[in-house]
Structure 1
């Protein structure tokens, strides 16, 4: 009887010990599984990140391709303008130079678009790796790097396209520029003959040089004004008599009539 009590009395202690052991084992398992759970969560996020970065990279590549197409259109427009000719030799040379700039910028935009496409392909490859579960964290990082490269390439394509379009506009301006007018040589003013006026003794005959209407007509208007006539002493002295119609100037007819009778 005493043994039987001892056995029953020992059972509660054994149950309590087993309970403590179970709690300890459960706690140990929980602690051991925490890193695994966190890693699983990290891998899920990495897969999502890889997909998002790949989508961004593809969008950048598409935008870069559109920019390259616009740059090519600008280069082709510049070439057509250049080939159509310019209004001057200087304009033709400028159009040629600007069309070359447009072509080179178009090539740069095309190269940038290709770089963006390559980066997008790398991002898509990283996304595939992440989905397969093979180190998705590293794959997500690779996708992010590829997306950044695609964005940089797109920015380069935008810059090259703007340069191509500006060069195309400059080509058109150069081709249509009006040539500068040729310089006109200055016409020298006619110089009236130098006459020496001398005092003549009273009663002495004076011989004056023959009057030349063409020489006296300084402004070449076919008339002699009083100022022009003053260059010849005889014409100036008889100006009013020669001016038959009293209009204040001498015509060739009036001048010749006087010259023939004097």
Structure 2
């Protein structure tokens, strides 16, 4: 979501990681009574808005080209702020990875094909947190708000295209028919193999997974050291 506050924000300073996240509507941090979804997410306010990327945050009504668009950017670019909403996404039977029957990599191997879509849970979660974030921005002085950047509309989110954190593919579990590795990342079927990373997660959370993956990998390493004899065979 992008905003125009008619004030000099100087959001070009710093990096994207220089940010503030509002965690009030993540996980079980709020009352879900009467809501149509479980879980939640956070609103992420950051700096590091480079000049070129800021052109993508202009109001959709300007069309994205032409003299009017250029004049608006010249007058308002330093007043454009925004927030990214990151939310949980649940697992569904119609979301999966398989091998593409046609596309291949340079070595001739089939590429992994991703099949996914947003369900009612994700759409309801997005609408709720979008409205909360919009209210905060207006209270902070925003004169106009609009869905921009990675958000298709106020009612429908858009997947992050390139720098996303991927989940699933070798998910963990106790049922050998429904999972690939156990809770330590040890493969159920392939001897002496551990798979660590986001691929083992059955679902995502409302946070970036990096630190959790680091903690889980540390736990797995301890398990490997303490049980090397049985794991190595």
TM-score (norm 1): 0.18
| Structure having the larger proportion of residues in helix | 1
| Structure having the larger proportion of residues in strand | 2
Greater gyration radius? 1
